[in-house]
Amino acid sequence: MRRHTILEALCASKGEYISGEHLSRTLGITRSAVWKGVDALRREGYEIESRTRLGYRLLSMPDTLEPEALAARLNTAVVGRRILFFDTLDSTNTYAKQAALAGGENGLVILAGQQTGGRGRSGRSFQSPPGKGLYLTALLRPTAAPAAVLPVTALAAVAACRAIERICGLRPGIKWTNDLVLDTRKLVGILTEMGVEGETGVLQYVAVGIGINLNQTQADFSGAVADMATSLRMVLGRTISRAELAVALMEELDRLYAALLTQDYAPWLAEYRRSCVTLGHPVRILGSGPERVAYAEEIDDAFGLVVRYDDGRRETIRSGEVSVRGLYGYV
């Protein structure tokens, strides 16, 4: 725990030197304990410079999802106040829902290095190889009616776009309603689930699960996924820091949570419309009935997809009712 408090202090200094004496006094430990804590951090891959009469300053961090390291650089009001990381989980969403029923706090974030049972919509699997992607679920407890938070999946898509653009300098497109794409291939999967009290209809929680393909190569994708998936590394030709993207994503999810409280979705809607790559293309509408072909025209004010059929009839498709696939490919 000592090294964690030292790390937090070094991060808070924003690259400036902080003296050993100051660390000793503010943390309530000896100068020798400060030195041992710094040495332990260095062995873990933290680059810490020390200079006589100036003290210590943090130059760089390893790409770790250790909760204390993420929290030290995180700037949020709610999301990430508590972070749990597991080397392996069946599903971060499954764990988050179990935590919610056990009284898990608002803003709890679950991270996994690998998912053995990663899930997408309609029970589809999400391939989650170890150490290659970012697999994160945020547990949110907004005070709102269930109907008021229905746009949360679309908001999560915008949040993920923002985080990726911040860290990587490129903006993915959004395939309605819950996938992010680059070069017509799937980059990000989003699964949002909510719990509602049966008798009262009160919203208990929202679990926002996001899986991002970071450092996979083509060989990491198997089966049908191999023809439709991509990663940031495959597009950019370089390794992406999981830690940096995790922090950016939690900060954007914190803004999402604030939007759920105010229900001011207008800026998010405008951004979603600009990023939606489904618009302007023919699509196949897949549901319980027969498959239909239509033309995707616009996103309505509730994030529904407005489509037009060959006979001129228009219909608004709502998330959760059907799936939409491109007529000539994934997008």
- The pLDDT tens digits for 150-191 are 999 999 999 999 999 999 999 999 999 889 999 889 999 999
Average pLDDT on 212-241 reads 92
Using an 8 Å Cβ cutoff, are 286 and 322 in contact?
yes
274 has pLDDT over 60:
yes
More confident residue, 253 or 227: 253
Q: How confident is the model at residue 16 (pLDDT cuts 50, 70, 90)?
A: very high
Helix (H) or strand (E) holding 260: helix 242-262
How high is the pLDDT of residue 291? 86
Q: Is the dihedral of CA 268, 212, 218, 283 positive or negative?
A: negative
54 has pLDDT over 60:
yes
Average pLDDT on 256-284 reads 96
How high is the pLDDT of residue 223? 85
More confident residue, 92 or 63: 92
35 three-class SS: helix
Q: How confident is the model at residue 6 (pLDDT cuts 50, 70, 90)?
A: very high
301 three-class SS: coil
Total residue count of the chain as it appears in this document: 331
* Residue whose pair of structure tokens reads 């390893």 in the numeric block: 62
User: Phi first, then psi: what are they for 140, rounded to 5°?
Assistant: -120, 145
- Count CB neighbours of 117 within 10 A: 12
Closest by Cα among 197, 231, 225 to 212: 231
Least confident of 120-129, 143-152, 273-282: 120-129
- Count CB neighbours of 60 within 10 A: 9
Omega before 88 cis (within 30°)? Answer: no
How high is the pLDDT of residue 207? 98
Helix (H) or strand (E) holding 248: helix 242-262
How high is the pLDDT of residue 125? 55
Buried b (16+ CB within 10 A) or exposed e, 179-213: bbbbeebbbbbbbbbbbeeeeeeebebbbbbbbbb
How high is the pLDDT of residue 123? 53
pTM for the full predicted model:
0.86
Q: Is the dihedral of CA 237, 241, 244, 249 positive or negative?
A: positive
CA 18 to chain centre: 33
Burial of 114 (0-12, 13-18, 19+ CB in 10 A): middle
Q: Position 307: which residue type?
A: V
320 has pLDDT over 60:
no
* Radius of gyration over every alpha carbon of the chain, rounded to an integer in angstroms: 22
How high is the pLDDT of residue 255? 98
Using an 8 Å Cβ cutoff, are 258 and 77 in contact?
yes
Strands 83-86 and 47-51: unpaired
What are all long-range contacts of 301-308, with beta carbons under 8 Å and residues at least 24 apart?
301/269, 302/150, 302/151, 303/151, 303/153, 303/154, 303/177, 303/269, 303/272, 305/176, 305/177, 305/278, 307/283
Burial of 106 (0-12, 13-18, 19+ CB in 10 A): middle
Average pLDDT of the chain, as a whole number:
91
Q: How confident is the model at residue 287 (pLDDT cuts 50, 70, 90)?
A: confident
Closest by Cα among 260, 325, 251 to 286: 325
Closest by Cα among 311, 314, 310, 318 to 287: 318
1 has pLDDT over 80:
no
284 three-class SS: strand
* Residue whose pair of structure tokens reads 């803004």 in the numeric block: 255
